[in-house]
């Protein structure tokens, strides 16, 4: 197990939603599990005028995310956890002189003996990231002479390739690349990491993991919710920026990558970057037209309830063409993947919440049982990332009786079946890794830029291209009517069931 130094975590944007919803509950879980160092404290910093006690009340005592705790024993643990939380008001802006903040950090560090080790977590509007890094550096707080310093940066990391590059250069003026941790919470998901283990700790999959045996690869990320209260942010972002450029490209890189030389952070990240750089960038309008589909959800009645269309959501322009559905077909230009199409989609207001990777294997070269209907039923390896994390293999078995009728059977594994295991949430895992100085599950500058390099021309085409259509789809169905056009008639999306083992294809309409 990695060691963990005494340290302080300073959260910028501490009065915001992410702190209360994800960060503090994750820290509490780590505390309860005995994973935090002996000398540890959290200093919240933001533009709200709060005392230490008011901050504790807000993020723990009165927080809806702590409602589930309350029994006597837990109360004791909660109280000692709350003693570790402090707050510093920054005033009206993040762009102020950080003298006061620096003296608070230094005095808390001395009082609680955190040995000068400090993580700065930026959970603020992204245009503040560089500003905060500069102000920290001006107070000598990026300097590692007296204890290490790390910077965790939330998404969105840039709005385009050029803004991501500018942000990288901006942050690297004040912090070394090795100090910067770009968070992508999908990398904290156990099953996303398991993609590496499935591939590289088994000898049954990797020999088949290439163009000789794989017909195509499909990735679906579906959410049943709409944009909720984030219409203002989302309308400027859209599905491609919000989910595809980061979370889905990370998953793609783990499927595409070559075996790393070992499990060290840089070895894995080097291969991921190489994988991302091998994806064929589409620039030609005709190619982009044929290989991308964008859609937007329309109002509908779901389970007896009227659901708003995207344009009716608060904060969304009533003539918005921002996509809530994005599907892209692409190729990877390298030896392993030549001519294997990848189909990747993400969308809101789908029939269910699910993320899964489907590896479709080629049908056998010679069909002995050609009368049995097996030809169109390919072998599949389905890696379910959420909600019911697991792996399912579909393979042919003989139907009992005369002759050789073949049917598909399921071989399933569920993480839940590992009885003694409690899965850490993504934020628990990622925070713990950063505290231990392990950047494996964080995105490196060149990874982020390689992902943007692929996504940028699609965004540009969707914004400025001719013939670009945003298709409507009713909330609660699997996307627009032409969603399967990307497959050119040969296949179609596997619209997953609510549970891994269920047959696909349902939608919720009443
Ligand atoms: C976030 C997106 O990064 O991921 C949200 O901004 C999305 O729009 C969320 O809802 C989905 O995360 P998860 O872990 O629930 O799949």
Q: Which of 360, 355, 294, 352 is nearest to 492 (CA)?
A: 360
- The CA 496 to ligand 1 mean position distance, Å, reads 18
Please determine, for residue 447, whether its predicted confidence score (pLDDT) is greater than 90: yes
- Count helices and strands in the chain by DSSP H and E runs: 14, 17
Q: Which atom of ligand 1 is nearest to the CA of 189?
A: 14
Q: Which of 113, 168, 104, 180 is nearest to 144 (CA)?
A: 180
What CATH number labels 187-486? 3.30.360.10
Q: Which atom of ligand 1 is nearest to the CA of 186?
A: 14
Please tell me the predicted confidence (pLDDT) of residue 376.
58
Q: Is 356 in the pocket of ligand 1 (CB under 6 A)?
A: no
Please determine, for residue 377, whether its predicted confidence score (pLDDT) is greater than 80: no
Please tell me the predicted confidence (pLDDT) of residue 396.
84
Q: What's the mean per-residue pLDDT of the chain? A: 93
Please tell me the predicted confidence (pLDDT) of residue 510.
45
Please tell me the predicted confidence (pLDDT) of residue 284.
97
CATH fold group of domain 7-154: Rossmann fold (3.40.50)
- Supply the residue whose CA is at minimum distance from atom 4 of ligand 1: 243
Positions annotated as catalytic residues are 247
Across the range 6-10, mean pLDDT stands at 98
CB-CB contact of 246 with 231 (8 Å): no
- Supply the residue whose CA is at minimum distance from atom 7 of ligand 1: 243
Rounded to the nearest 5°, which phi and psi values hold at 61? -55, -50
Range in 197-206, 322-331, 364-373, 473-482 the model is least confident about: 364-373
Spatial CB neighbours of 129, under 8 Å, sequence gap ≥ 6:
122, 153, 167, 170, 171
Per the listing, tokens 């960060």 go with 23
Tell me the per-residue pLDDT of 286-331, one tens digit each, with 9 for 90 and over. 999 999 999 999 999 988 889 999 999 999 999 999 999 999 999 9
Range in 113-127, 152-166, 404-418, 431-445 the model is least confident about: 404-418
Which band of pLDDT confidence, cut at 50, 70 and 90, is reported for residue 366?
A: confident
Which band of pLDDT confidence, cut at 50, 70 and 90, is reported for residue 31?
A: very high
Which of 182, 185, 246, 355 most suits a substitution to test ligand 1, by most atoms within 8 Å of the C-beta?
Answer: 185
Q: Is 242 in the pocket of ligand 1 (CB under 6 A)?
A: yes
**Where in the chain are the domains?**
7-154, 187-486
Which token pair is 323? 């996509």
- Supply the residue whose CA is at minimum distance from atom 6 of ligand 1: 242
Across the range 210-224, mean pLDDT stands at 97
Q: Which atom of ligand 1 is nearest to the CA of 227?
A: 8
Please tell me the predicted confidence (pLDDT) of residue 68.
80
- The CA 254 to ligand 1 mean position distance, Å, reads 19
Tell me the per-residue pLDDT of 185-204, one tens digit each, with 9 for 90 and over. 999 998 899 999 999 999 99
Which of 126, 247, 345, 354 most suits a substitution to test ligand 1, by most atoms within 8 Å of the C-beta?
Answer: 247
Q: Which of 464, 455, 461 is nearest to 160 (CA)?
A: 455
Residue 227: Cβ within 10 Å count: 24
pTM of the full predicted structure? 0.94
- The CA 415 to ligand 1 mean position distance, Å, reads 21
Kindly report whether the peptide bond that precedes residue 321 is cis, defined as omega within 30 degrees of 0.
no
Please determine, for residue 450, whether its predicted confidence score (pLDDT) is greater than 80: yes
- The CA 243 to ligand 1 mean position distance, Å, reads 7
**Secondary structure of the chain: what % helix, strand, coil (to 5)?**
40, 20, 40
Q: To the nearest whole percent, how much of the chain has pLDDT over 70?
A: 95
Q: Is 223 in the pocket of ligand 1 (CB under 6 A)?
A: yes
Please tell me the predicted confidence (pLDDT) of residue 373.
56
* Partner residues linked to 412 by β-bridges: 392
Please determine, for residue 166, whether its predicted confidence score (pLDDT) is greater than 50: yes
Tell me the per-residue pLDDT of 418-440, one tens digit each, with 9 for 90 and over. 866 677 899 999 999 999 999 99
Q: Which of 486, 488, 482, 507 is nearest to 497 (CA)?
A: 507
- The CA 368 to ligand 1 mean position distance, Å, reads 46
Q: Is 271 in the pocket of ligand 1 (CB under 6 A)?
A: no
Tell me the per-residue pLDDT of 483-495, one tens digit each, with 9 for 90 and over. 999 998 889 999 9
State the alpha helices, DSSP H only, in 220-264.
Answer: 231-239, 249-256
């Amino acid at each position: 197990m990695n060691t963990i130094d005494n340290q302080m975590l300073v959260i910028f944007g501490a009065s915001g939603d992410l702190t209360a919803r994800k960060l503090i509950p994750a820290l509490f879980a780590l505390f309860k599990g005995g994973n935090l160092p002996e000398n540890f404290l959290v200093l919240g910093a933001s533009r709200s005028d709060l005392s230490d006690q008011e901050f504790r009340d807000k993020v723990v005592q009165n927080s809806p995310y702590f409602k589930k705790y309350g029994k006597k024993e837990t109360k004791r643990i909660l109280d000692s956890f709350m003693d570790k939380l402090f707050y510093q008001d920054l005033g009206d802006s993040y762009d102020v002189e950080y003298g006061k903040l620096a003296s608070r950090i230094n005095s808390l560090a001395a009082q609680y003996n955190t040995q000068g080790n400090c993580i700065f977590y930026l959970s603020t509007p992204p245009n503040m990231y560089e500003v905060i890094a500069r102000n920290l550096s001006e107070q000598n707080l990026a300097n590692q002479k007296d204890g290490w310093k790390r910077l965790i940066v939330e998404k969105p990391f840039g709005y385009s390739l050029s803004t991501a590059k500018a942000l990288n250069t901006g942050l690297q003026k004040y912090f070394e690349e090795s100090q910067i941790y770009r968070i992508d919470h999908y990398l904290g998901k156990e099953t996303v990491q398991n993609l590496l283990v499935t591939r590289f700790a088994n000898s049954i999959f990797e020999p088949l993991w290439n163009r000789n045996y794989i017909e195509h690869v499909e990735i679906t990320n579906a959410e049943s919710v709409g944009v909720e209260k984030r219409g203002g942010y989302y309308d400027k972002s859209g599905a491609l920026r919000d989910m595809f450029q980061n979370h889905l490209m990370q998953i793609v890189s783990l499927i595409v990558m070559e075996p790393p030389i070992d499990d060290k952070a840089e070895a894995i990240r080097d291969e991921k970057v190489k994988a991302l750089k091998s994806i064929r960038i589409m620039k030609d309008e005709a190619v982009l037209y044929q290989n991308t589909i964008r859609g937007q959800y329309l109002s509908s009645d779901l389970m007896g309830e009227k659901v708003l269309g995207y344009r009716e959501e608060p904060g969304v322009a009533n003539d918005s063409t921002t996509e809530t559905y994005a599907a892209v077909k692409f190729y990877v230009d390298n030896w392993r993947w030549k001519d294997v199409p990848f189909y990747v989609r993400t969308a809101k207001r789908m029939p269910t919440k699910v993320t899964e990777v489907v590896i479709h294997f080629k049908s056998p070269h010679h069909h002995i049982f050609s009368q049995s209907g097996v030809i169109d039923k390919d072998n599949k390896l389905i890696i379910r990332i959420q909600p019911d994390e697991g792996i399912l293999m579909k393979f042919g078995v003989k139907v009992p009786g005369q002759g050789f009728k073949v049917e598909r059977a399921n071989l399933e594994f569920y993480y839940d079946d590992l009885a003694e295991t409690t899965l850490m949430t993504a934020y628990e895992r990622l925070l713990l890794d950063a505290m231990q100085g392990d950047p494996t599950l964080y995105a490196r500058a060149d990874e982020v830029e390689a992902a943007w390099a692929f996504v940028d021309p699609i965004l540009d085409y969707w914004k400025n291209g001719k013939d670009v259509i945003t298709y409507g789809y009713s909330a609660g169905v699997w996307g627009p009517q032409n969603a399967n056009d990307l497959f050119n008639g040969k296949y179609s999306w596997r619209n997953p069931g609510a549970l891994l083992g269920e047959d696909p294809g349902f939608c919720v309409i009443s």
